Amino acid sequence: MKLFLWCTALLALAAPALGQKCHEDDPFEPNDRCGEALALEPGFYSWRYLVPESREDRWRILVPAGEPLEVDVIFYQSLADLDAWLLSADCSTTLQQATSSSDHELLRWTNGTGSDVEVVLRVAGVPGVACGNYMLDVRLGDPGPFAPFCFGNDPSEPCPCGNGAGPRAGCRNANGVGGRLTAQGSTSVALDDLVLRGASLVAGKPALLFVGASALDGSGSPLGDGLRCVGGPVVRLGTAVPDGAGVATFGPGLGALGGWSAGERRHFQIWYRDFAASPCASSSNSTHGLSAHFSG
């Protein structure tokens, strides 16, 4: 399996004040034209700014042969409506474009040319944009057997009371962030060394890990202040109490409880208690989902 180069830093989303930096471009200028595009490595990049005078940024990304590239441009519609394009190195050809009316634009492209290729990411504000503040999440490589899904910032599947959170997280909890679910170890049934970790949960409040045979991405129903991302049959894999940093760990040895076999796919999620003053007043929430394809 190819090495997965997912170099994302987990940064909290905090919306800048309305009008912030509207007349002050970011320190990466000039990068408005194709020849001025600046190099980007995989990772998470906090606020960049577009001002009315330019309304455009360009970034250069090297994509190895055969590798998939995914770029998420994250912003707040209340501040600006931004669009995004992936272009050829000379900016003459559009490879992918994203021009929705949501709070993020997602671009995916796989380099099938047979050689390493540079592409240019173009981010631009629609005409009349007052202030373009945005973040970038750049991912390069094969995600392997694990695939997160059912996020709290998806406009097609909104959180129960408008409590969306940052990218690749669950719905916002009383701490102002969304719970996350990550995996360590392997999907080998024989080794049974899979460890699942919940992060940005509520310290000292019980958390329950469960697994199901179906994913409800795109049709998740409310689950407390979060979304139900996993469907039946569902098996509870145990509870844990998050530490002071809001981290809860489950496993290894989960396979004996879950009963999965080689070649099967299962979908995981954590439900956890929240404070009484949680955003939707249910006093509970959930992470996003995480799918795993098991091997022998």
Query: Greatest CA separation found in the chain?
Result: 60
Per-residue pLDDT in tens (0 to 9) along the chain, 296 residues: 332 232 232 222 233 333 344 556 667 778 888 999 988 887 666 566 665 555 788 999 999 988 899 888 877 666 677 889 999 999 999 999 998 877 678 898 999 999 999 999 999 887 665 566 777 778 787 666 788 888 887 666 689 998 987 667 899 999 888 998 988 889 999 999 999 999 889 999 999 999 998 887 545 688 899 999 998 889 999 999 999 989 999 999 999 999 999 988 899 999 999 998 899 999 999 999 998 889 88
Q: Which residue has the tokens 């959180």?
A: 159
Distance of alpha carbon 200 from alpha carbon 197, whole angstroms: 10
Residue 12 confidence (pLDDT): 27
Say what the pLDDT of residue 206 is. Answer: 96
CATH class, domain 34-140, is mainly beta
Q: Taking the model in full, what pTM does it have?
A: 0.57
Give the residue carrying structure tokens 């202040």.
Answer: 225
Main-chain phi, psi angles of 246, to 5 degrees: 80, 25
Number of other residues whose CB lies within 10 A of the CB of residue 45: 17
- 174/272 Cα distance (integer angstroms): 12
Q: Could you count the other beta carbons within 10 Å of the beta carbon of residue 73?
A: 22
267: Cβ contacts below 8 Å, ≥ 6 apart: 149, 211, 212, 213, 214, 215, 229, 230, 231, 289, 290, 291, 292
What pLDDT shows up at residue 7?
29
- pLDDT score recorded for residue 92: 96
pLDDT value of position 235: 95
CA 125/CA 128 separation, integer angstroms = 8
Do 209 and 229 contact (CB within 8 A), yes or no? Answer: no
Gap between the Cα atoms of 273 and 240, Å rounded:
11
Q: In angstroms, rounded to a whole number, what is the distance separating the alpha carbons of residues 118 and 121?
A: 10
Q: What is the pLDDT of residue 143?
A: 62
Give the separation between CA 67 and CA 124, rounded to whole angstroms.
26
For strand 132-140 and strand 43-50, is the pairing parallel, antiparallel, or unpaired?
antiparallel
Domain boundaries, the chain: 34-140, 146-293
Intrachain domains 34-140 and 146-293 with the same fold: no
Class of domain 146-293: mainly beta
